């Protein structure tokens, strides 16, 4: 379009060529930082702030040798997306630095998610359990008031305006009294702190009662639960005495909705080996239960999932087949006019398409462990993440940051070794990550790599985490670039 003459312009107006910069004719441009990787026949280029472009090999060569034709579409796209800039354009550099600051703004908030493990006991006996539930007596595995209070003091030390307290287990409702106590105490503190305070309970719903729901309603508590699919999958994945877990969950979901409102509950699924061959049935289950999306989540390499060797029963390639089959069905559903989202894809799409941070702690660098999210265990131990606690349940205390009853805030952050690990694992400096084209969409996961490779950095060529991000990002980018009908659906998820 650029080189075409413009007809119909009145005499006193200049043609487009008049406004080409003089530098442009000599192709005097400079490169801005970017990474690239071969994908099929072309190259994926990404810059520091997550803008991307696919280039042919020839164009990539021309670009780096500064011989790219300044009248070409590809030159325009590279300029518009800040892969190159023309000498003299201050705006390009200013915009790029603004975007970089925006991308990292999330770290100014520091810790916003605070997980309270109020009991390690559970009425279920899931073989894939990532936290190794206990069946012992209450005294031993439940959080007490002293621990809860000390944890709250810690919580309000965060500079973040937003504080989310999530109650987990085991089954947290087995220690309902301490949840109630913690919520009331937190609200008391917040009368003077005035933060944006939110609560979540992650529960299997068995123990939900009218009293509990009334309290949740009064205190605006969000409920998160597990739903693995239809009865034959859910009950196999999540056994409980009576073998009626599925029925209980489905009934209780409706009960929660009636009391708290339709959008005050969400569900998570875990993919077992059995789940892999039933993508449609699982999605139908979510549709039937009136959820607006599903988070397709593979097993994590922690807890019972490792001990019972569940984790070895499928690899990422098998999971990706399941993911693709699921996505095909999800597209069908959306094409039929029902808006239904795959949440992990939506997270990646946000990272790919938006200038601001998404707040998903598993895909950020520095890693979110400890600094974005922190875990207070029933016994006062403090962990860098949910996964760190899972490791500890397996006897590895690498990511235990201290104990709330004996350590100070400063000791926990500055003397636990946490900051050193976060610094060592920054994707900007880690081998393979620093030059990876997927870096802006990925994150550093020291706990995962430690769990799988006994090294917080890890060899990325062997990393399942790395493979997952790359493969699913490629899958999504391919649709965004080449399939306009499906692209519209993905855009609606962002």
Partner 1 sequence: MISLYSKACKFFNWEEGAEPLILPVTENPNLPKVVAKKYALVCDRIPGKPSESIASYGAILSRGLVKSPTLNRVIQLSAELSYIKSSDIVRLNPGGGEVRTLFRSDSDHNSILVTERCNSFCLMCSQPPREIDDSYLIEDACEVIKKIPRSTRSLGITGGEPTLLGEGFLRIVRSAARYLPETHLHVLTNGRTFSQRVNSVALKDVGHPNLVLGIPLYSDLPERHDFVVQAAGAFEETIRGIMNLRRDGQNIELRVVIHKQTYARLPELARFIVRNLAFVEHVAFMGLEITGFTKANFGALWIDPYEYRSELDEACRILQSARVKTMLYNHQLCILTPFVRELSVNSISDWKNDYLEKCAPCDRKNDCGGFFSTGFSLEKTSNHISPFISSNRIIPFEEIA
Ramachandran angles phi, psi of 442, nearest 5°? -110, -160
3 binds partner 1 (CB under 8 A): no
353 binds partner 1 (CB under 8 A): yes
Q: 294-305 b/e with 16+ CB inside 10 Å = b?
A: bbbebbbbbbbb
To partner 1, the closest distance from the beta carbon of 20 in angstroms equals 5
Which of 40, 67, 90, 108 lies at the binding interface for partner 1 (CB under 8 A)? 90
Task: Rule CB under 8 A: choose which of 3, 10, 108, 395 binds partner 1.
Answer: 10
Q: Output the CA torsion sign for 198, 199, 202, 207.
A: negative
123 contributes a contact to partner 1 by CB under 8 A: no
Please work out, in degrees rounded to the nearest 5, the angle formed at the alpha carbon of residue 385 by the alpha carbons of 384 and 387: 125
CA distances from 79 to 51, 55, 69, 72, 439 (A): 11, 13, 12, 11, 21
Q: Where are the alpha helices (DSSP H) in 73-144?
A: 73-80, 90-104, 106-109, 138-141
Q: Taking CB under 8 A as the rule, does residue 195 contact partner 1?
A: no
403 binds partner 1 (CB under 8 A): no
Question: Helix, strand, or coil here: 28?
Answer: coil
Q: Report if residue 13 touches partner 1, rule: CB under 8 A.
A: yes
User: Which of 76/135 has CB closer to partner 1?
Assistant: 76
Per CB under 8 A, does 150 bind partner 1?
Answer: no
Q: Is 1 in the site for partner 1 (CB under 8 A)?
A: yes
At residue 376, φ and ψ (nearest 5 deg) are -105, 115
Q: Considering only 86-94, 289-297, 409-417, 446-454, which stretch makes contact with partner 1 by CB under 8 A? A: 86-94
| 51 or 386: CB nearest partner 1 | 51
Q: Residue 165 pairs with which residues in a beta bridge?
A: 114, 199
460-489 binders of partner 1 (CB under 8 A): 488
Identify which of residues 5 and 461 has a Cβ nearer to partner 1 in the complex: 5
Under the binding rule (CB under 8 A), the answer on residue 492 touching partner 1 is yes
| Long-range contacts, stretch 244-248, CB < 8 angstroms, 24+ apart | 245/124, 245/204, 245/206, 248/204, 248/205, 248/206
Per CB under 8 A, 33 contacts partner 1: no
| Closest distance to partner 1 from the beta carbon of 441 (Å) | 15
Residue 49 binds partner 1, judged by CB under 8 A? yes
Asked whether position 51 contacts partner 1 by CB under 8 A, the answer is: yes
Q: Which residue has the tokens 């917040």?
A: 190
How many other C-beta atoms are found inside a 10 Å radius of the C-beta of residue 39?
Answer: 15
Query: Is the CB of residue 169 less than 8 Å from the CB of residue 121?
Result: yes
Residues in binding contact with partner 1, number by CB under 8 A: 39
| 308 scored as a contact of partner 1 (CB under 8 A) | no
100 in contact with partner 1 (CB under 8 A): no
Q: Should residue 336 be labelled a site residue for partner 1 when binding is judged by CB under 8 A?
A: no
Residue in 25, 80, 135, 339 binding partner 1, rule: CB under 8 A: 80
List the one residue out of 231, 223, 230, 284 whose CA is nearest residue 255: 223
Query: Are residues 376 and 151 in contact, defined by beta-carbon separation less than 8 angstroms?
Result: yes
Interacting stretch for partner 1, rule CB under 8 A, among 60-68, 84-92, 246-254, 295-303? 84-92
Stretch that binds partner 1, among 4-12, 154-162, 271-279, 305-313 (CB under 8 A): 4-12
CA pair distance 326, 342, nearest whole angstrom: 9
> Which residues in 356-395 contact partner 1 (CB under 8 A)?
356
User: In b/e form, how buried is each residue of 242-258, taking b as 16+ CB within 10 angstroms?
Assistant: eeebbebbbebbebbbe
494 binds partner 1 per the rule CB under 8 A:
yes
Contact between 218 and 259 (Cβ < 8 Å) = no
Q: How many CB atoms lie within 10 A of CB 180?
A: 14
Out of 23, 42, 89, 308, point to the residue binding partner 1 (CB under 8 A).
89
208 vs 346 by CB, closer to partner 1: 346
The yes or no reply on residue 21 touching partner 1 (CB under 8 A) is yes
CB of 97 to partner 1, least distance (A): 10
Give the binding site for partner 1 (CB under 8 A).
Answer: 1-2, 6-10, 13-16, 18-21, 24, 49, 51, 76-77, 79-81, 86, 89-91, 94-95, 98-99, 353-356, 488, 491-492, 494
């Amino acid at each position: 379009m650029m080189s075409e003459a413009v007809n119909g312009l009145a005499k006193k107006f200049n043609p487009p060529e008049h406004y080409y910069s003089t530098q442009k004719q000599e192709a005097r441009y400079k490169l801005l930082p970017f990474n690239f990787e071969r994908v099929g026949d072309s190259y994926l280029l990404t810059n520091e702030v997550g803008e991307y472009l696919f280039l042919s090999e020839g164009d990539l060569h021309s670009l780096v040798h500064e011989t790219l034709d300044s009248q070409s579409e590809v030159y325009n796209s590279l300029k518009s997306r800040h892969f190159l800039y023309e000498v003299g354009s201050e705006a390009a550099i200013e915009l790029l630095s603004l975007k970089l600051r925006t991308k990292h703004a999330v770290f100014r908030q520091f810790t916003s998610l605070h997980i309270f493990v109020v009991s390690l006991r559970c009425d279920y006996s899931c073989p894939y359990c990532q936290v190794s539930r206990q069946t012992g007596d209450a005294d031993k595995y439940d959080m007490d008031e002293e621990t809860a209070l000390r944890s709250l003091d810690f919580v309000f030390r965060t500079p973040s305006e937003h504080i989310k307290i999530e109650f987990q287990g085991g089954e947290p409702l087995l220690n309902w009294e301490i949840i109630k106590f913690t919520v009331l105490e937190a609200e008391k503190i917040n009368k003077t702190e005035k933060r944006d305070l939110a609560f979540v309970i992650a529960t299997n719903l068995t123990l939900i009662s009218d009293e509990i729901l009334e309290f949740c309603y009064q205190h605006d508590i969000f409920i998160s639960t597990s739903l693995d699919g239809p009865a034959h999958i859910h009950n196999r994945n999540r056994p409980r005495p009576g073998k009626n877990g599925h029925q209980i969950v489905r009934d209780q979901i409706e009960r929660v909705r009636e009391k708290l409102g339709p959008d005050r509950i969400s569900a998570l699924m875990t993919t077992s080996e059995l789940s892999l061959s039933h993508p449609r049935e699982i999605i139908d289950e979510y549709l039937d239960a009136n959820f607006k999306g599903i988070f397709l989540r593979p097993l994590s390499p922690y807890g019972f999932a490792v001990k019972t060797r569940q984790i070895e029963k499928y690899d990422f390639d098998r999971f990706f087949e399941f993911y693709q089959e699921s996505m095909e069905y999800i597209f069908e559903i959306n094409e039929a006019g029902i808006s239904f989202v795959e949440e992990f894809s939506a997270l990646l799409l946000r990272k790919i398409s938006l200038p601001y941070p998404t707040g998903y702690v598993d895909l950020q660098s520095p890693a979110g462990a400890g600094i974005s999210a922190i875990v207070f265990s029933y016994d006062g131990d403090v962990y860098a993440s949910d996964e760190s606690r899972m490791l500890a349940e397996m006897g590895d205390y690498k990511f235990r940051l201290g104990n709330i009853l004996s350590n100070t805030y400063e000791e926990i952050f500055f003397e636990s070794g946490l900051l050193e690990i976060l610094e060592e694992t920054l994707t900007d400096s880690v081998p393979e990550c620093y030059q990876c084209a997927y870096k802006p969409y990925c994150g550093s996961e020291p706990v995962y790599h430690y769990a799988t490779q006994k090294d917080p950095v890890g060899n990325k060529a062997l990393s399942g985490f790395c493979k997952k991000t790359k493969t699913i990002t490629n899958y999504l980018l391919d649709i965004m670039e080449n399939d306009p009908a499906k692209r519209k659906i993905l855009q609606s998820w962002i």
